[in-house]
Structure 1
């Protein structure tokens, strides 16, 4: 019952924060503006359905870069902020354990972010129904929504893990910015697989292992969701063909598992640090 109490209390606190709700609604605003701008481009595709699916894929690709920023804004102070102000000591003075606090904060902030994705997709559905009916791609849109929701929760888990692992707001902000920069900005110019290949072949002198580099690249959440989008729509959003290897762990269908790993591992690491932290 303690987890439920933490969820309810944290959600009430979030509900009073205008900044969080403004941040949470920005994805919907950008998605709506993007669709309105792109609707005139639908006539350039061979079929209306192809154009709609391509446009929705681009909305998800936009979200793959934008959602992590919103997730960090929503969640990075969930625990670190309370530790700095001293309210965490009061919260842990109740029957709540540190595990209860971490899980409760994660569920509460995930709920807020999922609401943000729901709002964005409600805008997308409304515009598509007005502009592209009857070629509305319902099943495709539903699958993309599920993938984006999982991606969103993964970044909430990363932010909560960071918030639990550090003691101050400044450290949470610095680590969160660093993680976002590495995963979403730095890897725009290269891939993790390419970096590992340079070390593996150029530094250590091993023979090339392409499947290892492919898996490493797709293990990054941003790359993983783009591969997942390709799997759902059949249209390339990464500039590369869909993977043809038979190894299951580089198949697009494995990407939800990768995102689940990004949910579990940051929470476990954050809990390990938080359990040993002095909150007094």
Structure 2
């Protein structure tokens, strides 16, 4: 190894962690991650998977509900709802699998020390891994959607490209959310075993624990274990909407014609809040929630990884 690389590895951790982010280093790390995914056929496999998923869901819609849906002129809207139902489960799983070994695997194998000697700062590594893994998921979604566009349009009969593009954009954003969370988990663990456990814990948190807490509060209020309070009810609804899975559906309502809430549910909320739905229950706020779920985990990951002994 060259003397420059050796001197880079001798720089104290505290000093190196204070380096500003080098966009070239971030790009280099992301490019390597993406090329590895392409060489392993992971990228192409995901692209084919998303293509098959879209065509299959469209075929189901066309075959089982074609006449009724076509009569209502809501085929793409129904597709958005179907993709949301399936994608809200599948996309997080794929993102967590893509991200859980990103940094923990490098630390476990020892290659992280070589990477940091090139030189890349720890911040560059975290951001580069996020960009690389998010790029694999995002571009595979893009390729899958583009390839499926013609079959979907043919099967549906009536096709709204605005809804279709909106569905793609929000799904990509949703995938980046879980990629960011996965990278954060990977950055705070020393082994892939703990990283896998952490990724599984994230999935359980958002799909089981989060909803259970909200449901439990409702039961406690119904059986008088908690006082019936508008404040508690509002905080519970806010808590539910902070879940990225709920935010995914709400943002889809914002950018497509598919409504997350029916007219009766909207009317009930307006009645509950005297005609004005609070900002934190509106669809535009859900977009901020998704963005926060991208920024906050990776910011915490950078902070923690900067101060971790390798």
**TM-score interval, smaller chain:** 0.7 to 0.9
Aligned to 1:67: 91
1:207 paired with 2:229, answer yes
Farther off after superposition, 14-23 or 96-105? 14-23
* 1:120 alignment partner in structure 2: 144
Show the counterpart of 2:287. 256
User: TM-score, normalised to structure 1's length?
Assistant: 0.87
Report how many aligned residue pairs link the two structures: 276
Post-superposition offset of 1:116: 2.1
How far did residue 253 of structure 1 move?
Answer: 1.7
* Distance (whole Å) between structure 1 residues aligned to residue 263 and residue 185 of structure 2: 32
Q: CA deviation at 1:21?
A: 4.7
Q: Does 1:30 align with 2:53?
A: yes
Distance 2:141 2:262 in 1: 22
Cα distance, 1:14 vs structure 2? 2.4
Could you say which structure has the larger radius of gyration? 2
Change in 2 beyond 3 A, CA 1:165/1:25: farther
Counterpart CA distance in 1 for 2:185 and 2:221 is 30
Q: What are structure 1's unaligned runs of at least 5 residues?
A: none
Q: Pick one of 265, 269, 277 that aligns with 2:296.
A: 265
Q: CA deviation at 1:56?
A: 2.8
Aligned match of 2:112 in 77, 88, 107?
88
Distance 1:34 1:13, change over 3 A: same
* CA-CA distance at 1:68 after TM superposition: 0.5
In structure 2, what is the equivalent of residue 155 of structure 1?
178
> Residues 238 and 281 of structure 2 are in contact (CA less than 8 Å); yes or no, is this contact kept in structure 1?
yes
1:103 aligns with 2:127: yes
Task: Provide the rounded CA distance (Å) in 1 between the counterparts of 2:105 and 2:94.
Answer: 17
Question: How far 1:145 moved relative to its partner?
Answer: 1.8
